[in-house]
Amino acid sequence: MQKAVDAGIRNRRQGQFGQVMHRLRKNKVAMIGLVIMILLIVMALLSPWITPYDYAKTSKAERYALPSLQHLFGCDGMGRDILSRIMYGARASLFLGLMSTLAATVIGVLLGSLVGYYGGKVDNIVMRILDIIQAIPGMLLSIAISAALGSGIGNTILALSIGGVPMTVRLLRGSILTVRKQEYIEAAEKINCSKWRVITSHILPNSIAPVIVSVTMGIGNTILQAASLSYIGLGVQPPTPEWGAMLSEGKSMITKYPHLCIFPGLAIMIVVLCLNMLGDGLRDAMDPKLKN
Amino acid sequence: MIRYIGKRLLWMIPVMLGIAILIFSIMYICPGEPAQSLLGPSATAVELAAKREEMGLNDPYIVRLGRYLYDTFIRFDLGTSYKFGTSVFAGLMERKQYTLVVALLCMALQVFVGTPLGIMAATHHNGLWDRVSMFLALVGVSIPAFWLALMLVLIFAVNLGWLPTSGVANGIASFILPCIANSFAGIASQARHTRSSMLEVIRSDYIVTAKAKGLSSKTVLFKHALPNALIPIITIVGNGMGMMLGGTVIIENVFAIPGVGRYMTDAITARDYPVVMGGVLILGLIFSLIMLLVDIVYAFVDPRIKAQYEGKKKAKKAPDVGTAKGGA
Amino acid sequence: MANKEVLLSVKNLSVEYTSEGEVIHAVNHVSFDLEKGKTIGLVGETGAGKTSIARAILRILPEPPARVPNGEIEFEGKDLLKIREEDMQKIRGKEISMIFQDPMTALNPIMRVGEQIAEVVHLHEHCSKHEATEKAKKMLEMVGIPGERYYEYPHQFSGGMKQRVVIAMALACNPTLLLADEPTTALDVTIQAQVLDMINDLKQKLNTSMIMITHDLGIVAEVCDTVAVIYAGEIMEYGTKEQIFHNPQYPYTIGLFGSLPDLNSDVERLSPIDGLPPNPADLPRGCAFHPRCPYATEECKKEHIELTDIGGGHLCRCCRLAEIAKEKGEQK
Amino acid sequence: MKKFLALILALIMVLSMASFASAEQGASIVVGLMGDPGNIGPFQGMGLGRIGILFTTYEMLMVKDGDEFVGCLMKELTQVDDLTYDVEIYDYIKDQDGNPLTANDIKFCFDTAKSIGNLPKLSAVDSVEVLSDYVARFHFTSLAAGDLESLLMECPIVTQAAYEASADQMATDPVTTSPYRVTSYQTGSTIVYEYTGNYWQNDESLSPSTSKHNVDKVTFKIIPDAVQMTNALKTKEIDISAFIDSAYIADFTAEGGYSVTAIPDNTSKYLIFNTHVFQDANLRKAIAYGIDVEDLILFAYDGVALHCKTIGNNKYPDYVDAWDDEEYYEYDADQATALFAEAGVSNATYRLIYAVSDQNTAMATAMQADLMDFGINLELIPYDSALFGNYKYAENDEWDLMLDEGGSSNLLTNVWKLSLDRRDQTYGKTVGYVVDDTLQSLLEAAMADNSPENMDAFHQYLKEQCYEYGLLAAVNNLAHTTVVKEAKTCFRGQILPGACEY
């Protein structure tokens, strides 16, 4: 008896965000995803000390060495140990991938909720600007950014995240449009909650789901795109390893030495998998109807 | 509704102008030498400078922008490609059918394979089918397109010899592998999105009402649940179509398909200004039209959105009177 | 009381939900009968399991979390829990239909209101689309909504209007049994009265028997013939309306009436039942109400108490009825 | 769902069987090309794709066949004075539409090419004068050694009548004097040539290898992806290609039915020092000694490339063979350490810029690894080719070392000229910003007369100063099936389908 009551009280005190986190912690799958993500981040941070070999040490003897005991993932075309390059490469790939996905999501959600909430003029103007931006091929945008603002991590993240913003805005706008006229939104407005509160605690939780799915799916090719940026002065310069670059380097040897591509590909897949597990968990936690 | 569409079509003009000015400015500040790619690697700087002058690339920004806008919007002449010597429009038209075939086939695969996968995953929430299809979807999204393409070629073309390795000479057979490779990511994201929005919808009260009316589970799913879950799915398909029409460079490169994607990317690397600017304008136009179509389909699917499009005056809220005769 | 023929007989029905590892016993061995044309009221606080009983009867409980471990639901010679899904689908909406509590979300937001009614008519009446539309328009008129509004969408209707549509939908194929799950809770009082009148009229006209789920004793008085007081998923007291209203035996029922504002007695403060309903995950031993029951003694806590008939079909699940009657006698 | 999949698979089987059944008849060959020729009109530039189809589509006045220069359309070449030559063409040349080719057409071609400006070398042709129907007089502005032949080889010749009749300046359907005519042009995918049957030159002895027509039908297939080029050859969708990735060469020699030949590529790779940064010759030499070219060849080209002894490979007629056994900064760790000490440089960071490609990245990474042993940290900055051009052709301090490449179709001096001739850069210095009169005068002497003495003088001086360090020359691997008995290539290393033996 008491237990139910306490649960009830505690929930009420944490407020909405606390409840979502509370339910998220209960979701085993999401927690597995979170744990692996944390492990990967820790591995990336510690990589300079824990990689079995120096990621840049080339060796003629071990060129294209197949996975063996000394080299778990084998060696690439320059005789460098792939496992160490993946561990060290996680720094660049994870950082770039996560940061630009985060930036794209934050900007996208902000813009999307503004567009969804106000509609009418604001909606039209912002969406038309997005049409314009989305017409420009991503590569060109990145070259322009690199030319105008110079290279550097900040501009790389900007170049990588610009591509993701329009998609997030469109998705959010779509689902807000359905929710916008619901009775509970009007009710919230009638008891004159601040606009910000209406958006964050009423509109967003009920319309964020498609965005979570698209963002967690998008991280995979954000990492791949980071590789193409190194040719235009942005992103990571060789020989610092980066998963996307390792994949494109291994591309020409795909039929003869597939292990060059398999392991970086697997690394990206694991990141996408974890994020999706987390994303699903988050989305289920946000939907109170979901008890199971 | 027609008024809304009319307004949106009028908005196309500022959008096209915006794209033209933006793409021109990007190409203006974008470093790199069109002359270089034209004259080949063994050209010397003096020759390059002469060529730049001859191509009118040294005039000030405003002059070149004015000339470009005049050519594009008044004379509708997108200019001729430096590299190909043929008009940009003709270049695009020649290549559009290949990109169109790949785009349409991939979108069809995405919709007709992705959506059912998503629905099945949603209806068996946390069941085996849900886990399996979602794992496949994740693999589909994180596999780089070129890797999948080359693996498919290795198996079906080189070892089994069923299909051609590349090129467009063998009719539909040469498009099978490219479409599978290209649509894998699309199917994956379609399935994920369908599953997510179906999960949202399946638990709502009107689905229980539908069941209580004695409808079969199939009817409940396809007549009540799916239509309500369509909005995010339409956005994905619309956006995917827009991207696909711009051509998918990786697939076109690997399968040697002379599509718009390759034409545009080669133009960007070679700084072939007319092609880049012309191509971006036309693709931008197509993209905006598709986005308009998406908004129209929104209104078609969901009357609440339609009401918001038509603005406040038309869609009146029924006054809460409803007394009428009150009961028998 | 002429045709005492029983339309529906629920025997020993239980419903469990599993959530986050815990098993929640929403309904525990409920049994009751319903005669043709009659209305039974299921009364109790929210969360007592009333809705689960109704949904179990119509078999629309969400299968993965919910489960019906035991029980039989006799309806026109068939046990609704055992028959095939296809046959159940023929019954839903035709023989048995349901009115839902929250009209705001009960209608499909993107389907025209009339079509949602016509759909059930077309499904069960095997008539043409056109006939179904006409029937739907007639039903709309019947519930006080102008026929022309057939083509409008739910978001263009107010709460009360939507509830009328739900009712029209439920009664479209004039069902023999109507499950009304707190049909008026979401409505304001004036609309509530109209809806209740309408339900009563339709009951008279179509001789529909009904299970009225409510926590509003006023509605019970106005609509129901027999009453079952539900607490923690169990029927604690059952009897005709008169027996329950005039001679409530079970302390919880008494408490319910106690918490009613009585116009002619000048009591300033209401006397609510203190405490909260038990956590369905671990129900108290013996009589479920004993933690909150003013008359509770050790004996109530020991073992489960059976329903005993205290005269004329008036059942009650309390072992200290005599003492309570005595104490109540002294207070008067 | 399973029924649906089975249906799809059956459909694929049927479709693919049908499409493979129709094999081509008659002697024909399918050539794999890496670059897309794009516009195959006569007066376009010399991009990678175009040189692949140039000699199948057009004929020139002269052409380099093997090591000597022979006339093609040209019958006689008589010198009038240092800068004036008379070119006499055969009087019975007709193009595929039957238009006769006269001296007027020759003048028309050179004038048009000069005005379009995509063939920069032609700026050395002052004017072309028509003396008689079949004799044209060429006035040149300057003629360095080898320029005469390279200019007469540079411009494809078509009749004015045919050129003006074509709607798109022969961009997709050229009418030329070549034995082959384009019968189908599918943009960016395939170009098919067929032998016209009425080639004007019936005296075999007079027509060079570039004008031979030993096969009836030539199909050029454009395959931009290296791995797919290999796959296409494996499935015999193409019969021959000069762009097989060195890693896959082993697949073809082992299996029966293929033969592989290595063709030295014209372009060679060299390292340019930014002399603002590397003023001290010892420092430049230290870096040259510190780089092991064998590593570069192994990592970037799987061990299949030529170790250069100067700027440019040893295939040119004016190459002095003695250089081969001379010492040329071969890897010598002690020498490098000593020189670094002498130059007083212990650990420094230098920026190496290069045009991005798999090979260049591998070479840069290998150089970085080698120099790391001497405490020199190389920062690698890759740029795409257009961006790279920006930094190469301007005086800027965005780079310290530059991995560049250059080539010429005829003479070693032309390779040197690209990066070392002050007159060619807008800022009047070499690409490495060298202002050295001796270097310039030695280069001009060698260009005027490429006698071994002049060549050697320049080479030794350049080696002594080490302004630039020649690294390696790549090799194109040409592989073909048994459809071709023996493959022939032109001086640019491109396949001549007409000249192969079948």
> Could you read off the pLDDT of D249-307 as tens digits, one per residue?
877 875 678 888 888 788 889 999 998 888 888 888 888 998 999 888 888 888 888 88
B325 shares contact with chain C (CB less than 8 Å): yes
Are D195 and D290 within one domain? no
Question: How far apart are alpha carbons D445 and D459 in whole angstroms?
Answer: 12
Q: Give the residues across from D495 on adjacent strands.
A: D489
Low-confidence winner among A6-10, A270-274, A285-289, D32-36 (lowest mean pLDDT):
A6-10
Please determine, for residue D381, whether its predicted confidence score (pLDDT) is greater than 60: yes
* Residue D128 contacts residue D114 (beta carbons within 8 Å): no
pLDDT digits (tens, 9 = 90+) for C34-91: 888 888 998 888 777 888 888 888 888 887 788 888 889 888 888 888 888 888 888 8
Among B135, B231, B268, whose Cβ lies nearest the Cβ of A174?
B231
Give yes or no: residues D432 and D315 share one domain.
yes
D350 and D389, same domain (yes or no)? yes
Residue A14 has a pLDDT of 62
User: Does residue D501 sit within a domain?
Assistant: no
On the question of pLDDT at C286 being above 60, the answer is yes
Q: Is residue D13 part of a domain?
A: no
Residue B53, pLDDT score: 77
- CA–CA separation, D463 vs D498, rounded Å? 42
Nearest by CB: B303 against C106, C149, C153: C153
Please list every residue in chain D whose beta carbon sits closer than 8 Å to the beta carbon of residue B165: 228, 231-232, 235, 237
Are residues B301 and C110 in contact, defined by beta-carbon separation less than 8 angstroms?
yes
Closest CA to C252 of C225, C220, C219, C215: C215
Q: Which amino acid is at B308?
A: Q
CB contact (8 A) between residue A292 and residue C279: no
Instruction: Name the band, by pLDDT with cuts 50, 70 and 90, for residue C291.
Output: confident
Record the tokens describing residue A249, joined without a space.
């380097």
Q: Which CATH number fits domain B101-263: 1.10.3720.10, 3.30.365.10, 3.40.91.50, 1.10.10.10?
A: 1.10.3720.10
Bridge partners of C180, per DSSP, are C99, C212
Confidence of residue B237 (pLDDT cuts 50, 70, 90): very high
Between A11 and D432, name the one with better pLDDT. D432
D144/D212 same-domain check: yes
**Alpha carbons D311 and D417: distance in angstroms, whole number:** 10
What is the mean predicted confidence (pLDDT) over A203-210?
83
Q: For the domain that residue D129 is a member of, what is the CATH number? A: 3.40.190.10
| Type of residue found at B268 | I
d(CA B244, CA B103) in angstroms, rounded, equals 5
Quote the CA–CA distance of D104 and D84 in Å, as a whole number: 18
Give percent above pLDDT 90 in chain B: 16
Token look-up 């294209």 returns A64
Task: Supply the pLDDT for residue A108.
Answer: 92
For residue C227, pLDDT over 70 is answered with yes
Strand (E) positions, D7-82? 28-33, 62-65, 68-71, 74-81
Q: Extract the runs of DSSP E, i.e. beta strands, from D92-216.
A: 125-132, 135-140, 180-186, 190-195
C320 at interface of B, judged by CB pairs closer than 8 A: no
- Confirm if C176 and C7 have CB atoms less than 8 A apart: yes
pLDDT at C258 over 50: yes
- Predicted confidence (pLDDT) per residue in A152-164, tens digit: 788 888 888 888 8
Q: Is B322 in the C-facing interface, judged by CB distances under 8 Å?
A: yes
Residue-level pLDDT at C3: 47
Identify the residue with better confidence: D386 or B124: B124
The answer to whether residue D411 sits within a structural domain is yes
The answer to whether residues D336 and D461 belong to one domain is yes
Same domain, yes or no: D441 and D339: yes
- For residue C92, the chain B residues in CB contact (below 8 A) are 211-214
> CATH code at D296?
3.10.105.10
* Shared domain check, D326 and D231: no
* Residues D185, D45 share a domain: yes
Residue A74 exposed, middle or buried by CB count within 10 Å (0-12, 13-18, 19+): buried
Could you tell me if D218 and D270 lie in one domain?
Answer: no
Report DSSP state, residue C292.
Answer: G
Q: Average the pLDDT over A114-139 and give the result.
A: 86
Same domain, D277 and D196: no
CB C288 within 8 Å of CB C231? yes
- Ordered by start, the domain boundaries in chain B are 101-263
Residues sharing a CB contact under 8 Å with residue D396, sequence separation 6 or more, in sequence order: none
Q: Does residue C221 register a pLDDT over 80?
A: yes
D65 inside domain? yes
Instruction: Read off the pLDDT of residues D73-125 as tens digits, 9 standing for 90 and up.
Output: 888 889 988 889 999 988 888 888 888 999 999 999 999 888 877 787 888 88
User: Domain range holding D396?
Assistant: 2-7+266-475
Chains with 3+ CB–CB pairs under 8 A to A are B, C, D
The CB density around residue D485, as the number of other CB atoms within 10 Å, is 11
**Main-chain phi, psi angles of D154, to 5 degrees:** -75, -35
ipTM of the complex: 0.81
Supply the pTM of this predicted model: 0.83
Query: Torsion angle, CA of D426/D432/D434/D438, rounded to 10 degrees?
Result: -100
Helix (H, G, I), strand (E, B) or coil at B68: helix
Are A238 and D382 inside 8 Å of each other by CB?
yes
* pLDDT class of D220 with cuts at 50, 70, 90: very high
Q: pLDDT value at position D11?
A: 64
Chains D and A make contact, 3+ CB pairs within 8 Å:
yes
Asked if residue D248 is part of any domain, the answer here is no
Nearest to B206 among C107, C144, C149 (CB): C107
CB-based contact C102:C73 (threshold 8 Å): no
| Total number of domains in chain D | 2
Query: Which residues in A have their CB inside 8 Å of a CB on C?
Result: 1, 3-5, 26, 178, 181, 183, 291-292
DSSP structural state of residue C205: H
Shared domain for D299 and D232, answered yes or no, is: no
A209 touches A286 (CB < 8 A): yes
| Of residues D230, D295, D380, nearest to A239 (C-beta) | D380
Same domain, residue pair D204 and D320: no
In tens, the pLDDT along D157-205 reads 999 999 999 888 888 889 999 999 999 988 888 999 999 888 888 888 8
Whole-number pLDDT of residue B328: 36
